[in-house]
Chains A and B, each alone.
Chain A
Amino acid sequence: MSMTLATEENPWARGWRRLRRRKGAMAALFVVVFLIAAALLAPWIAPYDPTQTSFTQVRKAPSWLHWFGTDEVGRDVLSRVLFGARASLSAGLVSVGIAVGAGVPLGLLAGYAGGWVDTVLSRVVDAMLAIPFLILAITLAAFLGPSLGNAMIAIGVTSTPVFIRLTRGQTLGAKVEDYVEAARAVGNPHWRIALRHVLPNIVPPLLVQASLAIAGAIIAEAALSFLGLGQQPPAPSWGSMLNSAQRFLAQAPWMAFWPGFAIFFAVLSFNLLGDGLRDALDPRHK
């Protein structure tokens, strides 16, 4: 066994090598790193305080002083887009973190245990998936109360059933593989088989799904903030910036352009990265 391992390339190294060959995915990865850096470094790189209003600088068009222009109360749009990246990216990461953290263990349980546990969990998943994604997220956020934290919880809970279903399906497939049979034959306890033998083998599809789910979560957070159910003013978020921009379309179109462009770029990158990961990690895809 160790001999074949020594000659065969580590699957992660192979995945990375294949991902690197994909220009679209690598460009997307670059944009993702760039966005994360912008979000982390916002306090240092933003030219202005994102909440600082100025009555002499109301709705100024883009200029050297304000690259992206200013908004209806004279705040710098570039600074707000940079700080807004914090809300959007953290919402994407935290809500998918919640969905993975809850969905993967439950999916493993359903797929591995089978029987009534599986039946109950699968029916709950069906029920949750029967409510359109954004409608469930809005409803949950509305009942929890408007705040960025609650929006993350709402999006996280809404994204969970997809991960339960995916993990369950993959676990059912892995359960009948020879290596799991072998692990069982040598007397491993169930939890050890599930965590050490099944889980590592189903990580690639989960990673792909996570990347696509982050894209979905960023759009959902922007949508909730647009409706006033996410990040609360005056803290900046791309969605709420678009909401106020809509009222000044005729006078200050730049207010609508930049935050929307930021959402588009972030979502496009995670979608492309997800597509690239799927092509790179799928062993059937040569």
Chain B
Amino acid sequence: MLVFLTRRLLQIIPTLILVSMLIFGLQQLLPGDPALIMAGEERDPQVLQQIREQYRLNEPIPVQYFYWMKGVLAGNLGESMRLKASVASLVAEKLPVTLQLAGMALLIAICIGIPAGIISAVKKETWWDYAANLFALWGLSTPNFWLGILMIFLFSVTLGWLPASGYVRLSEDWKMSLATTIMPAFVLGNALAAVLMRHTRSAMLQAMGADYVRTARAKGLAEGRVVLKHALRNAMTPVITLLALDFGTLLSGAVLTEQIFTIPGFGKLIVDSVFNRDYAVVQGVVLVTATVYITLNLLADIAYVLVNPRLRG
């Protein structure tokens, strides 16, 4: 186990370094003088000079990277030109909003996707199965920004049940907080539910064909008990680790969902920074996202080994 952990930890270091190089390298794609672009509307030569010095734009690129990385490792992700705040503080402010949204979406996805997957596997090749598969296809093919717009039209414009946009913190007023986030969470969870349904279905089909399920049936256990206690428990292991990988889908989806429902989270921060040419924020946010994603993958791998005694070796 210790060997596995060390090896796996060592493996993510080159990945993280490459991610940081990639994100830093994006700057080189900007056409023209980066100082001029980073300054945005500002044309004051003194400000430009300050930017050049701050980002060491007159030095060779590897040197620039070295200083940027040194800052990152010390927890300094740069400054937002527009908001005059540190990227780290912006991330700390916006991340909880997106985490609430992602958590609710995950809950919705689990509540829909896993039962749908179980039913379609147990009732393989019946109408239940076809309906669940159709649902999965719908979930995978609906652009979430379209679904969001349709839901606003139905529940806000036509029925007037839910607010169309805005966000209230959970700590301020939990009822309003849920009202403002339930639609975006559903939109976000919809696609993930489809993915989860497919994972659960194939894992369940595999488990249902396994020897231990046959043994359980031969012992005369009730079918419901066989499905839920014996098959499901074993089928869930790969599904749970795959959930960690799907976290990226949630973050990608949050970008558009937050845009549509004007929720001031992580995704909106990226889009706003893109439009205001606040490149330091874009770089910082992408770096944080990638680091979180890599860490989640690592945890999923460890969890997989922990619950799978055969892999522990």
Chain A residues packing against B (C-beta within 8 Å): 123-124, 126-128, 130-136, 138-140, 142-145, 215, 219, 222-223, 226-229, 239, 242, 245-246, 249-250, 253, 256-257, 260, 263-264, 267-268, 271-272
Tell yes or no: B14 within 8 A of A by CB: yes
Asked if B289 and A132 make an inter-chain contact with CB atoms under 8 angstroms apart, the answer reads yes
Given contacts A123-B14, A226-B256, contact A250 B293 (CB under 8 A): no
Give the top 7 A-B pairs by smallest Cβ distance, nearest first: A260-B146, A127-B18, A134-B252, A132-B248, A268-B141, A142-B274, A143-B29
In this complex, what residue of B is CB-closest to A130?
Answer: B290
Cβ < 8 Å to A, chain B residues 271-304: 271, 274-275, 279, 282, 286, 289-290, 293-294, 297
Indicate whether B30 reaches chain A with its CB closer than 8 angstroms. Answer: yes
Digitize B128-140: 1 where CB-to-A-CB distance is under 8 Å, 0 elsewhere: 0000000001101
Q: How far does the alpha carbon of A76 sit from the alpha carbon of B243 in the complex, in Å? A: 43
* B42-50, B67-75, B116-124, B147-155: which lies at the interface: B147-155
Write out the residue numbers on chain A whose beta carbons fall within 8 Å of the beta carbon of B270.
135, 138-139
Q: Besides A126-B18, A242-B149, 17 other CB < 8 A contacts?
A: A127-B15, A127-B290, A131-B22, A139-B23, A139-B26, A143-B29, A143-B282, A144-B29, A226-B259, A245-B149, A246-B149, A246-B260, A256-B146, A260-B150, A264-B146, A267-B142, A268-B141
Name the one of A130, A140, A260, A264 contacting B293, with C-beta atoms under 8 angstroms.
A130
CB atoms of A223 and B152 under 8 A apart: no
- A135 near B255 with CB under 8 A, answer yes
* Candidates B19, B143, B259, B271; contact of A219 at CB < 8 Å: B143
| 5 pairs from A and B in contact (CB 8 Å cutoff) | A131-B23, A139-B26, A227-B274, A246-B260, A264-B142
> Once the chains bind, are A132 and B271 in contact (CB under 8 Å)?
no
Q: A139-B286, A143-B279, A249-B152 are in contact. Are A132 and B252 (CB under 8 A)?
A: yes
A136 contacts across to B, CB distance below 8 A:
286
Tell me, rounded to whole Å, the shortest Cβ–Cβ distance linking B8 to chain A. 12
Q: Residue of B at shortest CB range from A141?
A: B274
Q: Are B15's CB and A126's CB within 8 A?
A: yes
Closest to B134 in A: A24
Query: Are A127 and B149 in touch, CB under 8 angstroms?
Result: no
Q: Are B256 and A135 in contact (CB under 8 A)?
A: no
B120 to chain A, nearest CB (A): 15
In the complex, the chain A residue whose C-beta lies closest to that of B156 is: A249
Complex Cα spacing A253 to B150, Å: 9
Which of B143, B256, B275, B294 lies in contact with A228, CB distance below 8 A? B275
B153 touches A249 (CB 8 A): yes
Known pairs A127-B15, A138-B255; A271 contacts B146 (CB<8 A): no
- Tell whether B157 is near chain A: CB-to-CB under 8 Å: yes
Identify the closest chain A residue to B259 (Cβ): A227
Residues B15 and A123 in contact, CB atoms below 8 Å apart: yes
A133 touches B248 (CB 8 A): yes
* Cα A256 to Cα B141 with chains together (Å): 17
Whether B186 is near chain A, meaning CB under 8 Å from some CB there, is no
Q: A123-B15, A132-B249, A242-B149 are in contact. Are A267 and B274 (CB under 8 A)?
A: no
* Interface magnitude class on chain B: 35 or more
CB pair B19–A143 under 8 Å, yes or no, is: no
Q: Is the CB of A131 within 8 A of B293?
A: yes
How distant is B296 from chain A, measured CB to nearest CB, in Å? Answer: 10
Residues from chain A with Cβ under 8 Å of B167 in the complex: none
The smallest beta-carbon distance between A118 and chain B, in angstroms, is 14
Contacts of B256 in A (CB 8 A): 134, 223, 226-227
Name the contact of A135 in the complex, choosing from B152, B286, B297 (C-beta under 8 A): B286
Contacts of B289 in A (CB 8 A): 131-132, 135
A219 proximity list for chain B (CB < 8 A): 143
**Chain B positions within 8 Å of A271 at CB level:** 137, 140-141
Q: B31 an interface residue at 8 Å Cβ cutoff?
A: yes
**Could you tell me if B26 and A140 are in contact, using CB atoms closer than 8 angstroms?**
yes
Asked if A131 meets B290 with Cβ closer than 8 Å, knowing A143-B279, A249-B149, the reply is yes
B152 contact set on A, CB distance < 8 A:
246, 249
Q: Tell me whether B282 and A139 are in contact (CB under 8 A).
A: yes
Of the candidates A138, A140, A267, which one forms a contact with B271 in the assembled complex, judged by CB atoms under 8 Å apart?
A: A138
Q: Are B145 and A226 in contact (CB under 8 A)?
A: yes
Is B18 touching A124 in the complex (CB atoms < 8 A)? yes
The 8 Å CB contact of A142, one of B19, B145, B282, is: B282
Q: Is B235 an interface residue (CB 8 A)?
A: no
Contacts of B149 in A (CB 8 A): 242, 245-246, 249, 256, 260
Tell me the minimal C-beta distance from B53 to chain A in angstroms. 23
Cα distance A18–B78 in the bound complex, in angstroms: 56
Within the complex, what minimum Cβ distance (angstroms) separates B66 from chain A?
18
Chain B residues closer than 8 Å to A268, beta-carbon distance: 137-138, 141
